[in-house]
Amino acid sequence: MIKKLGKKPAKIDRRTIPFKRCLKILPPIPEVFDLEAGKNIPSPMFANDKYGDCVIAGRAHHTLRFEHIEQKKILNITDDEILNQYWKEGKRFCFDKKPDRGLVMLDSLKWWRNKGWTADGQWYNIWAFAKLNKFDRYEVRAAIYLLNGIYIGLMLPNSARNQDIWSIVSSDNIPGSWGGHCVYIPPIWTSHLLTCITWGDEKSMTWDFFKTYCDEAYAIVDNKNHFLPDSPIDVELLQSYLDELD
């Protein structure tokens, strides 16, 4: 199987909201969890074997889960929709037709929030996103648990190319020596492993691999109207941050 990458190094914007500040209180989070079981949500390749469109493919996998909850159906997101969005966000010059230079996740998140995109013929955007502290396992699990997954970037080492489970090894392990990759982390984990959706399949990684090679991680808030007054998410505080940005 051909596996394309395409995430550029993490971009820092000090205005990006820290997720932990938006929590009133961290709720109890189970040590083992699987919200995907029995849902039969597909994991398409989304042309990531031909183009470095992983940033948009990760968005699509996230959108599939959001809309499965909201609309109680599985969207039919096409490769053409993925690629058209990838090329649109990747254009830098008037003569660019189908640029394949990868994307910056933070820039793409801002596009997703402010401009939205077309999936299964409909327009979708997100309400907010917040950065995660990758070293705080409890915070990461809380974001996955409360918000139906997270959106992360990895600077993959060459050693990850042929591993069944991504884990830290003693050789060929320099971050980014293979390249940058964006994946969606669904609400599946154990005490030892996280699961990501990439290249048309589920891929497991150890928590140590995640902490070592993740260079950016985001909690995505699809719709503020989903949160009840007693929700752990502080919607009013989050809205105040967004008002300052807009």
Going 65 to 69 to 105 to 218, the CA torsion angle's sign is negative
Per DSSP, the residues of 215-238 read EEEEEEE--GGG--TT-SB-HHHH
Neighbours of 114 (CB within 10 A): 11
Q: What is the pLDDT of residues 159-188, one digit of tens each?
A: 999 999 999 999 999 999 999 999 999 998
127 Rama class: left (phi>0) / alpha (psi -120 to 50) / beta: alpha
Give residues with Cβ within 8 angstroms of 165, minimum separation 6.
193, 204, 205, 206
Residue 77 backbone dihedrals phi, psi, to 5 degrees: -80, 125
Q: Which helix (H) or strand (E) holds 61?
A: helix 54-71
Residue 4 lies in a domain: no
Residue 223: predicted pLDDT? 77
Q: How far apart are the first and last CA of the chain?
A: 43
Q: Which helix (H) or strand (E) holds 197?
A: strand 193-198
Residue 3: predicted pLDDT? 94
Q: What is the pLDDT of residues 14-49, one digit of tens each?
A: 888 898 888 877 778 888 888 777 678 899 999 999
How many domains does the chain divide into?
1
Residue 3 lies in a domain: no
CB 85 within 8 A of CB 119: no
Residue 245: predicted pLDDT? 59
Residue 2 lies in a domain: no
Residue 7 lies in a domain: no
- Residue span of the structural domain in which 94 resides: 19-245
Residue 1 lies in a domain: no
Two tokens at 157? Answer: 């080492």
Q: Tell me how far apart the alpha carbons of residues 138 and 136 are, in angstroms, rounded to a whole number.
A: 5
Residue 184 lies in a domain: yes
CATH number of the domain that 217 lies in? 3.90.70.10
Residue 101 lies in a domain: yes
Task: Identify the three-state secondary structure at position 113.
Answer: helix
Residue 175 lies in a domain: yes
Low-confidence ranges of the chain (pLDDT < 70): 38, 224-230, 241, 244-246
Task: Identify the three-state secondary structure at position 89.
Answer: helix
CB 188 within 8 A of CB 182: no
